[in-house]
Amino acid sequence: MKSNLRLAWRNLWRNKRRTLITVASIFFGVLLATLMSSMQEGSYSSMINNIVKFYSGYIQVQHEDYWDTKTINNTFVPTDSLIDEITSVTEVTLITPRLESFALASSEEITRGCMVIGIDPEKEKEVMDIGKWVSDGVYLEQNDRGVLVGFDLAKYLELSVGDTLVLIGQGYHGTTAAGVFPIRGILKFPSPELNKQSIYLELKTAQEFYSVDQQVTFMVLMLEDQYDLKKAMRKLSNQIASPYAVMTWEDMHPELLQMVEADRAGALIMKAILYIIIAFGVLGTIMMLVMERKREMGVMVAIGMQRSKLSWILFFETIYIGLIGVIAGFTGSIPLIAYFYHNPIPLTGDAARTMEEMGIEPLMYFSWLPSVFYNQVITVFIITALIALYPVITSYRLKVQLALKA
């Protein structure tokens, strides 16, 4: 067996040009497949992270009746025991409370419905980092009596930093919620919907406005990685019971999940087409290699080489080519993906506008997941290994008399 391996390796470099052409076809196949997978997974992660960070979080703990009614009456007090149960789940990296409801925002005779969100300013820096979206003015501080207003909403109400905003709504159990708040800052999100309807208050100020005492509508839970979601959900479901409910972003945004799954299925078809192209490219070069060496193979069999030994040598030659190609493709894809991972490609035109309307930053992100790399390496190598059967079959079916005349 060792002699077969040595002979196969030496045969590769008898015709360096032929070997390098075959290796190059595998190299570019791995590189393109990895780039496509990285772009695909990066776009999914971007969509999920935008939804998670701008609104829902990976997981929410709510009152069990809140999701169906979305009323401020179904709020709860985040007790120490509840927080201890949540923090005992190692996958949860951050907990932040929010109080969310609706109100009418008014400036003189101009009025528009809006979404009012009470936040903990310090904790939200680690989740949504709202401060980086303040285009004018300053971010909220603890116990701040001011508000942050979405850019388009402020423009519609003809307000700017330092002006006064009137909020009128319905508080806890039908009480009247009314207040006058100075505008501390204007927020310019990449999401048009948030710009049109968002108003942020400091949590205690929002609780006073809606007449709720230390209550919140939900608690946002953040994870280190979206792939920890199922594990964290299993632990939380076992620890948290009625009157609380635990929901994931998948439960709260089923349309996004369906869109990702549908796009993943379409991408799988495209990737299958790419693998077929790679397979035929490698097969074509291997067939050319075998045809060029048909006379050589005939001579070797004629002088007494066993067909089994010849077939092993040809098999190992193809495997060597496959190994060199996938290793080169893997090595070449690392710096390329690393560059695009740290430098997302900005989108322009209609593509950018479409993504902004969906609440997604107009950037093409790339993923750095290990599976992006090893899945392509394994798949392309398996394809090459299957193609390696062709020279084996050819060697057994070889007719020596015809081969000598080739």
Helix (H), strand (E) counts: the chain: 17, 12
SS3 sequence, 155-178? HHHCCCCCCEEEEEEECHHHCEEE
Let me know: does 206 contact 117? Beta carbons within 8 Å. Answer: yes
Q: Which residue has the tokens 């789940």?
A: 89
Token pair, residue 51, equals: 């939804």
DSSP states of 224-285: S-GGGHHHHHHHHHHH--TTEEEEEHHHH-HHHHHHHHHHHHHHHHHHHHHHHHHHHHHHHH
First-to-last alpha carbon distance for the chain, in angstroms, is: 29
Token pair, residue 397, equals: 């079916």
What is the spatial distance between Cα 261 and Cα 270, in angstroms, rounded to a whole number? 14
What is the spatial distance between Cα 153 and Cα 143, in angstroms, rounded to a whole number? 24
What's the angle, vertex CA 342, arms to CA 336 and CA 343, rounded to 5?
85
Residue 401's pLDDT is what? 65
Closest CA to 315 of 378, 383, 385: 385
The DSSP secondary-structure symbol of 64 reads T
Residue 235's Cβ-count burial label (10 Å; 0-12, 13-18, 19+) is middle
Phi, psi of 173 (to 5 degrees): 55, 45
The DSSP secondary-structure symbol of 90 reads T
Looking from the CA of 121 toward its CB, the CA atoms found within 13 Å total 20
Token pair, residue 124, equals: 């939200």
Residue 187's pLDDT is what? 93
Instruction: Report CA dihedral (198, 203, 205, 210) to the nearest 10 degrees.
Output: 80
Residue 318's pLDDT is what? 85
99, amino acid identity? L
Residue burial 128-148, b: 16+ Cβ < 10 Å; e: rest: bebeebbebbebbeeebbbbb
Closest CA to 74 of 63, 82, 85, 87: 63
Per-residue tens of pLDDT for the chain, all 406 residues:
677 777 777 777 777 887 888 888 888 888 888 988 888 888 888 777 777 777 788 999 999 999 888 889 999 999 888 998 999 998 999 999 999 999 999 988 899 999 999 999 998 888 877 888 899 999 999 889 999 999 999 999 999 999 999 999 999 988 889 999 999 999 988 777 888 999 999 999 999 999 998 899 999 999 887 778 889 999 998 888 888 999 998 888 888 778 778 877 877 888 888 888 888 878 887 887 777 777 777 777 777 777 777 778 788 888 888 889 899 999 999 999 999 888 888 877 776 777 666 656 778 888 888 888 888 888 888 888 888 888 888 877 777 666 666 5
The DSSP secondary-structure symbol of 303 reads T
* pTM for the structure as a whole: 0.73
Token pair, residue 301, equals: 């069999």
Residue 183's pLDDT is what? 95
Residue 405's pLDDT is what? 62
